[in-house]
Amino acid sequence: MQELFAGILGFQLGHLAMLLIGGVLIYLAIAKDYEPMLLLPIGFGAILANIPLSSAIGPHGALTVLFNAGIDTELFPLLIFVAVGAMIDFGPLLQNPAMLFFGAAAQFGIFATMMFAIFLGFDLKVAASIGIIGAADGPTSIYVAKRFAADYIGPITVAAYSYMSLVPIIQPPVIRALTSRKERLIRMTPRPATDVPRVVRILFPIVVTIVAGLIAKESVALVGFLMFGNLIRECGVLERLSNAAQKELANLVTLLLGITIGSTMVADKFLQPATLMIMGMGLLAFVFDTAGGVLFAKFLNIFLKEKINPMVGAAGISAFPMSARVIQRMAQKEDPTNFVLMQSVSANVAGQVGSIIAGGLILALVPLALH
């Protein structure tokens, strides 16, 4: 009889807190539409993992099996990259490659937050994993956290996806604080919409993979899977595979990834001061990213005759296409006839390239520094 009530007898405050956190994530996903595809499965995964004596986790638990098969092997984030690669149109970036520099500048938040985490007492590996929240790229955050800070993979993932969905709230005040109205009114000459030759679209993912791999071998899987997905999209002869990657693969892996990450959020690991610190630093990472992009654009404007609207720099983060939309909305709020969407989209796509390169470099540099 006691066995029948073992779950109730084993119920502790920590379990209750985690069930509530799972519930909040589900609420945010449904009611607020915050990254519902990820936050809902994560929230439900957290509930499954925090019912006392849950059969979903443990040596034979289905979620543990999924974790070992998909997260421990790094397979799920990499498969997500194939799907994301198939969804990305690098055309705007290829038309306007100078925007790549904003994709680099907006990675500033990763490194600034990493230093902040070190000052708060985290070791280098954990600090780097916290900093990578600033990549504004969920799969990269999961990939790096799994390598360097497996115990914190839950909070890091939740922070990464939550703040990605909060970009329209986080970025505008930072941009307004760093720019004058005059700067926000800067008009950028639209480039003529030239078609990018098909051969360039096909060569781009191949060349990027080889070059990135030669510089940081740790980035081969990260960059390679993303670019493989993009090659499927651009080659023009694999429409079925491209569609499958964009739809079936993306949906299936997202579903499994979310619920599996949720299962790592067990009370004794999640309910720690470190979790709150990670959530706080994740927010800081997005603020630093935005500031890095804006300040870099302002720096370039010192030398440029044809000025750049510094808000475009903030679109250099990986949260696509939300960040580009936020910048366009802000530009039109200042002047309804000002269109910076094309430039913002280019910077936003550059941010996607920049974030995986930054992830690859972190994977390469941290072990070297510790050596």
Partner 1 sequence: MNITVFQGLDVAWKGLVGVFTVLILFYILIKLMLFAFKDKKR
Q: Between residues 198 and 329, which has the closer beta carbon with respect to partner 1?
A: 198
Closest CA to 98 of 289, 303, 308: 308
Residue nearer to partner 1 on the CB measure, 158 or 160 = 160
Contact (Cβ atoms closer than 8 angstroms) between residue 366 and residue 111: no
Distance CA 295, CA 123 (A): 29
Does residue 237 touch partner 1 according to CB under 8 A?
Answer: no
* DSSP 3-state of 216: coil
- Asked if residue 120 binds partner 1 (CB under 8 A), the reply is no
Q: What is the signed CA dihedral for 246, 251, 256, 261, rounded to 10 degrees?
A: 80
Binding mask 121-150 for partner 1 (x = CB under 8 A): --xx--xx----------------------
- Under 8 Å between Cβ of 81 and 219: no
State the minimum distance, in angstroms, from the CB of residue 200 to partner 1: 5
- Interactions with partner 1, residue window 174-203 (CB under 8 A): 195-200, 203
CA distances (Å), origin 3, targets 9, 12, 55, 56, 126: 9, 17, 14, 18, 40
Question: Which region among 178-186, 207-215, 271-279, 297-305 touches partner 1 (by CB under 8 A)?
Answer: 207-215
**Stretch touching partner 1 by CB under 8 A, among 102-110, 253-261, 267-275, 304-312:** 102-110
**At its nearest, how many Å lie between partner 1 and the CB of residue 295?**
13
The residue among 103 and 258 lying less far from partner 1, judged by its C-beta, is: 103
Between 31 and 302, CB nearer to partner 1: 302
Cα distances from 116 to residues 75, 110, 124, 271, 284, in angstroms, run: 30, 10, 11, 21, 9
Q: Which is nearer to partner 1, 114 or 186 (CB)?
A: 114
Would you list the DSSP string of 13-73? HHHHHHHHHHHHHHHHHHHS-SSHHHHHHHHHHHHHHTSTT-TTSSTT-HHHHHIIIIITT
CA nearest neighbour of 235 among 98, 38, 86, 123: 86
Residue span binding partner 1 (CB under 8 A) among the ranges 54-62, 74-82, 169-177, 350-358: 350-358
Q: Can residue 208 be called a binding residue for partner 1 (CB under 8 A)?
A: yes
* Least distance from partner 1 to the Cβ atom of residue 331, Å: 24
What number of chain residues touch partner 1 (CB under 8 A)? 47
Which lies closer to partner 1 via its Cβ, residue 129 or residue 165? 129
User: Per rule CB under 8 A, is residue 10 in the interface with partner 1?
Assistant: no
Quote the CA–CA distance of 279 and 285 in Å, as a whole number.
10
Structure tokens at 30: 């449904």
Structure tokens at 356: 């995986």
Site membership for partner 1, residue 285 (CB under 8 A): no
- Cα–Cα distances in Å, from 151 out to 38, 138, 145, 266? 19, 17, 8, 10
Residues that bind partner 1 (CB under 8 A): 93-94, 97-98, 100-101, 103-105, 107-108, 110-112, 114-115, 118-119, 123-124, 127-128, 195-200, 203-204, 207-208, 211-212, 215-216, 350, 353-354, 357-358, 361-362, 365-366, 369-370
